[in-house]
Structure 1
Amino acid sequence: MTTLTPAPPSLPAPGAATQRAGFGARVRDAFTSPKYGPVLVTAVLFVAVFVAGGVRYPGFLSGQVLLNLFVDNAYLIVLAVGMTFVILTGGIDLSVGAVVALSTMIAASLLQAGLPPAVVIPLILVTTSVLGLLVGLMIHFFKVQPFIATLAAMFLARGLCYVISQSSISISDPAFIALAVGRIPLGGGMSITWSVVIALIVVVLAVWMLHRTRFGRTVYAIGGGEQSGMLMGLPVARTKVLVYVVSGFCSGLAGVLFTFYTLSGYPLTAIGTELDAIAAVVIGGTLLAGGYGFVLGSVLGVLVLGIIQTIITFEGTLSSWWTKIFIGVLLLVFIALQRVLTARRR
């Protein structure tokens, strides 16, 4: 007679509650990560402010309002991209605003002299890249602190603006104007400018450089620990110099895009813009000490600054200085958030 042995009870299959718990843990880990947390907070902040604006103001939740954030801030996006490279290494670049002004003055003066845009624009980019190279060499070979080296470059660039002209120079070149005011229709009555296309190309190239090349990996390694990077045999010296070349190039290109926007050159252009770029990068999640950060986060930071300015414009009763107040508050909040997340990770 065969004795039947009862089968052991089977374990219950993971249910929806378990899966939800696992998903919630992953979300919590992402938001508390010093690498991803600030970027995710910035993305949530942008969506929340955009939706709040749509609830309060008629016509705010439209595609063109969103596209205008890119149109109005294309030059700042490019500037923030270059600043991201520098801050990722633990450096800073205070010269970018003055270099933007210098680019507008060079463009306006040379176009007024009769040179074509095909000559003027590359000349600007070469000039600003060489200025960035000199700053990088000063920082590396002479061991000058980035704050001091870029401060000197800021005074140099701003002084050169006044050497070119002490007053505004208007641009009347037909080809340059056509490129500046040209619109690209996207359908549904929406359109963007060529400046937006250029800015997005720069963003794509920057993402590729940082995440798909040895240069980008070295940038992150320097921010994580320069001595460790040297011990690993990484080209630390060359990379530290090149990030300032990238910043100089982006500053020159941002100056060209700003000239598209204003169709003039002026010595006092872009005063304080370097602070806007730094604020956008920090709000976008890049750690001021270096090592953590994303270019797309910096783009989100620029869009957050832009949406705040747009809401103040829609409100109509607030001074534009409220933008600076909100930026200051956000900057303090995100710096505190970075300190908390990095401290928890240690």
Structure 2
Amino acid sequence: MTSTLDRPSAGTPSGRGSRRSAGSAGSSTHGRSRSPFDRLRDVLTSPKSGPVLVTAVLFVAVFVAGGIRYRGFFSGQVFLNLFVDNSYLIVLAVGMTFVILTGGIDLSVGAVVALSTMIAASLLQSGWSPGVVIPLILVLTSVLGLLVGLMIHVFKVQPFIATLAAMFLARGLCYVISKDSISITEPTFVALAVTRIPLGGGLSITPSVVIALVVVAVAVWVLGFTRFGRTVYAIGGSEQSGMLMGLPVARTKVIVYVVSGFCSGLAGVLFSFYTLSGYPLTAIGTELDAIAAVVVGGTLLTGGYGFVLGSVLGVLVLGVIQTIITFEGTLSSWWTKIFIGALLLVFIILQKVLTARRR
């Protein structure tokens, strides 16, 4: 689409003449070259990059404020713990980013995380190998995402309703497996849960962080450098225009829910590493945390604008708020939800303002 827009019009000669006319038009419009301040203002007021930069500044400000207020907060390990504690949410937010970029929504991800932990715990308790259990979970959750995508495309069901049905299905299957918590004592899972990867200087991360960062890197490549990624953005910008351009809109809309299902299953596996258990009530409300992280990270709820790295920043913002509340010690954990709600409201208003100004 970009190359089409950049191509000279039929009545405009190409080569030096077109460049000269473009330059003269630019000089007549502005009279002078744009200053760095003008360029910075354009970036900050862009619905594409503005919210992401605001999120980055907010994260740095909150982290520095925490370092000033609490002893030991402003350290490398506290920063790395944001990834350790939220690696599953980062993976979940990556899948949600794909969905929201197309203008959709996925309310089933929290329940799918719980179902993944229940499947893992029950099968491992029955003696199944982790080499079979983990791929099986990823296949099952991807199939569930495929069914949701087909429901949305074939039967024209609204994403809200389709994923709500999948949420009830997944949560119900958790109780079919067991009504009680199931502990995971399988040696491989326990080893992955307790292993720390040293980074030097007394700093360390877990294998879950490495997996989450690999998922982020793959998602950045897919959205930024593949035809599938360009189609995802095109659908969010205008689905009708994407169809007129001959893009595989239907196939892409279905695949993004497969991606979300896969990421939900992988997030459930990482969460089972973190808790070493499966429980039917696990991850209640996590779908809202994932949506909040994506929106705070600058992805437009109506689709078309957003970055995976912005969603990662959104997760880190939520994580640093939770860490500050933990350091404070006197505040209830429910204050995290209050701050997240306030941030979400602010960023939705910011998105509305920026997109309105662009029109």
Q: TM-score range by the shorter chain?
A: over 0.9
Give the letter aligned to residue 38 of structure 1.
P
Give the superposition deviation at 1:94: 0.2
Match of 1:69 in 2: 82
**What whole-Å deviation, never above 9, does each CA across 1:210-230 have from its counterpart, x for those lacking one?**
011000000000000000000
Give the letter aligned to residue 33 of structure 1.
S
1:135 aligns with 2:148: yes
C-alpha separation in 2, matches of 1:47 and 1:90: 29
C-alpha separation in 2, matches of 1:184 and 1:37: 35
RMSD value, Cα: 1.1
C-alpha separation in 1, matches of 2:258 and 2:213: 20
C-alpha separation in 2, matches of 1:72 and 1:25: 40
Give the superposition deviation at 1:207: 0.3
1:170 aligns with 2:183: yes
1:244 aligns with 2:246: no
Gaps of at least 5 residues in structure 1 are 1-20
Match of 1:103 in 2: 116
1:256 aligns with 2:255: no
Match of 2:356 in 1: 343
Q: 1:43 aligns with which of 56, 66, 79?
A: 56
Give the superposition deviation at 1:280: 0.2
1:301 aligns with 2:314: yes
Give the superposition deviation at 1:51: 0.5
Give the superposition deviation at 1:26: 1.6
**What whole-Å deviation, never above 9, does each CA across 1:181-227 have from its counterpart, x for those lacking one?**
11100011110000000000000000000011000000000000000
Residues 270-285 of structure 1 mapped to structure 2, 5 A cutoff? 270-285=283-298
C-alpha separation in 1, matches of 2:104 and 2:73: 38
**What whole-Å deviation, never above 9, does each CA across 1:44-84 have from its counterpart, x for those lacking one?**
00000001111111111100000000000000000000000
Residues 117-266 of structure 1 mapped to structure 2, 5 A cutoff? 117-266=130-279
- Match of 1:186, SS state, is strand
Give the superposition deviation at 1:332: 0.3
C-alpha separation in 1, matches of 2:121 and 2:302: 37
| Residue-pair matches, total | 328
- Match of 1:234, SS state, is coil
- Give the TM-score normalised by structure 2: 0.90
Give the superposition deviation at 1:158: 0.2
- Give the TM-score normalised by structure 1: 0.94
Larger radius of gyration: 1
**What whole-Å deviation, never above 9, does each CA across 1:69-111 have from its counterpart, x for those lacking one?**
0000000000000000000000000000000000000000000
- Match of 1:136, SS state, is helix
Residues 5-20 of structure 1 mapped to structure 2, 5 A cutoff? none
1:267 aligns with 2:246: no
Moved over 4 A (4+): none
C-alpha separation in 2, matches of 1:162 and 1:26: 55
Give the superposition deviation at 1:270: 0.2
Give the letter aligned to residue 333 of structure 1.
V
1:114 aligns with 2:108: no
- Match of 1:191, SS state, is strand
Give the letter aligned to residue 317 of structure 2.
V
Give the superposition deviation at 1:273: 0.2
Give the letter aligned to residue 307 of structure 1.
V
**What whole-Å deviation, never above 9, does each CA across 1:259-287 have from its counterpart, x for those lacking one?**
00000000000000000000000000000
Q: Give percent identity, aligned residues only.
A: 87
C-alpha separation in 2, matches of 1:299 and 1:179: 23
C-alpha separation in 2, matches of 1:251 and 1:87: 15
